[in-house]
A and B are shown apart, each in its own frame.
Chain A
């Protein structure tokens, strides 16, 4: 064993940190009604919320990949004026309280919102209270996770491969498709996983912008919140599903986050 140079007394706050982060999870597991959990998990309300959560979070990932990967490419490869401003603006939803994001979405895409009133008048499309609205709310908070992960991957990648492909006559699209994207596949995968986990857990922007209706906009976090007020067992069962999904994402990403392990 090598001698550690870390001051010994740091063990105390470190142990407190472990306890602080782990005890709530133990509390959740301790209160789980294991006997009736099967019934809770297969109740129509839970299944509906689960289905809707999968639809919305995968939809949000699709939106994020479709728009976020091109954005990450531009941010990483093109030196345009105001790039730092654009980067700051597009990562803002990561630190913005989600409820504030929901209010902002209402003012932008609501029936009376900046873009929303135009959508309503021109196409008769209104987004609040729809599943599409829930997908947009989730994409709003989750896309930045994908963008910064992919951008970091693009910056870390060895650009000589791209140069070599270009020298050998590959066009820009071919280089992107055959060289760049395969090389950043691990970052893209990690970005998708993070983005999906964030979308799955989204609460504030969704309930503010999309409202709460079982089967339409009531995703799992909303169902947990409302179940907590009347049916603690159902709330714990739903929480457990979210806990295990989060764990699975963490395990899938462990090589990236804990490279030595």
Chain B
């Protein structure tokens, strides 16, 4: 069992990182949301695999919540917002795609160097995934600062949260259930508020480009 489980967990962790790179690579808003949903699905399955191989039942709940909220509900909400305000389908990065990809690769190397000592001393079966989850966090941050539209920034935040969740899973088999529930609630509220914000930004400026927010002064 152990060999197969480790293979499956490693494969899903690699898929989460791969989807983070896809989020950087894609130039379409709709694809961006779909890829984010795929990443959350992979993360949910990863959590389920960890739950199966360790036998901790609370990880099952977290896995189910991840798939339900992050892979189904949140993408739906973002889609609704995009339909309501008729967002153009282009991502509008402020760093061009090939350079973005190379920067994301550099961030992945950085994450590996930072995480390597921790991996050596880690005892959980998922310790190897720590470097990948740090890379996902950094790439999420990079998406937030290098994309102009408000919605892409929301997705960057969600990607960071996915990375943090995977880091928690890989270091200590997840946080206590009550903390996880709090984080989920947080994320839901954040997405709803961001949805309203995006709506207001669009109403005020007729665009989602956040660089226009600099005009918000007297």
Partners in one complex: no
